[in-house]
Structure 1
Amino acid sequence: MSSERPIRGWVDPNFPNPMGPGDASIIIYGYTPSIVVGVLGCALFALAGVLHAWQLVKYRSWYFSTVMVGIAFEIVGYAFRCLSAKVNPYHVSYFVIQYFFIVVAPVFFAAAIYTVLSILISATGQHYAPLPPKWILWIFITCDVIATIVQIFGAALIGVASSNRKDPTTPNNILLAGLAFQAFTFLVFIGLFAVFMRRARKAMFKVVRKSFYMGFWAAVILIYLRVCFRLAETAEGLYGTLNTHEVYFGCMEFAPVVVAIWLLAIWHPGRCVPKSRAAVGDSI
Structure 2
Amino acid sequence: MRSYAQKGLVAALVLATQVVIVSAAEDRPKGNFRQCLEVSPECPVFATLYGYRPNLGANAFLCALFALCCLASIVIGILSKTWTYTLALGIGTFLEAAGYAGRIIMNDNPWSESGFKLQICCLVLGPSFVAAAIYLTLKHFVLYCGPQYSLIKPRLYPWIFVGCDFGSIVLQAVGGGMAAAGGTTNKKLIDGGNNLIVAGIAFQVVTMVVCGVLILIYIFRYRKARQNRDALNEKSSYEMDKEAGSVSLGKIKLFAGVIVLAYLTVLIRCIYRLPEMAGGWGNALMRNEREFLLLDGMMLGIACAVLTAFHPAYFFPPFAAFRRSK
The two structures share one fold, judged by TM-score above 0.5:
yes
When the two chains are superposed, the root-mean-square deviation of aligned CA atoms in Å is 3.0
Say whether residues 1:16 and 2:40 are aligned partners.
yes
Q: 1:16 to 1:158 in 2, by over 3 A?
A: farther
CA contact (8 A) 2:39 2:111 kept: no
Q: Is the 8 A contact 1:83 1:94 kept in 2?
A: yes
Q: Tell me the secondary structure at the aligned position of residue 101 of structure 1.
A: helix
- The structure that is helix-richer by fraction is 2
Tell me how far 1:183 sits from its aligned partner. Answer: 0.8
CA distance in 1, matches of 2:121, 2:75: 27
Q: Is the Cα contact below 8 Å between 2:50 and 2:287 reproduced in 1? A: yes
Q: Is the 8 A contact 1:223 1:260 kept in 2?
A: yes
Shift of 1:6: 4.3
TM-score normalised by the chain length of structure 1: 0.83
2:99 touches 2:120 (CA, 8 Å); kept in 1?
yes
Deviations 1:97-116 (A, max 9, x none): 21111110111111111111
Counterpart residue type for residue 90 of structure 1 = W
1:197 maps onto 2:219 in alignment? yes
How far 1:253 sits from its partner (Å)? 0.3
For residue 166 of structure 1, report the CA deviation from its aligned partner. Answer: 4.3
Kindly provide the CA deviation profile for residues 128-170 of structure 1, in whole angstroms up to 9, marking residues without a partner as x: 22211222221111111110111122223334444x4543322
- For residues 265 and 43 of structure 1, do their structure 2 counterparts lie closer, same or farther at Cα, with a shift above 3 Å needed? same
- 1:144 matched to 2:175: no
Work out the CA distance in 2 between the residues paired with 1:154 and 1:84.
23
Distance change >3 Å, CA 246–CA 158, structure 1 → 2: farther
The residue aligned with 2:264 is 221
Identity of aligned residues (%): 28
Which structure: larger Rg? 2
The SS at the match of 1:275 is helix
Paired residues for 1:89-238 under 5 Å: 89-162=110-183, 164-167=184-187, 168-201=190-223, 206=242, 209-238=252-281
Q: Is the 8 A contact 2:128 2:165 kept in 1?
A: yes
Aligned to 2:7: none
Q: Which ranges in structure 2 are unaligned for 5 or more consecutive residues?
A: 1-28, 227-235
CA distance in structure 1 between the aligned counterparts of 2:169 and 2:95, rounded to whole angstroms: 14
For 2:301 and 2:168, how far apart are their aligned partners in 1? 22
Give unmatched runs, 5+ long, in structure 1. none
Report the TM-score when normalising by structure 2.
0.73
Distance, in Å, in 2 between the alignment partners of 1:135 and 1:49 is: 26
Aligned residue in 2 for 1:270: 313
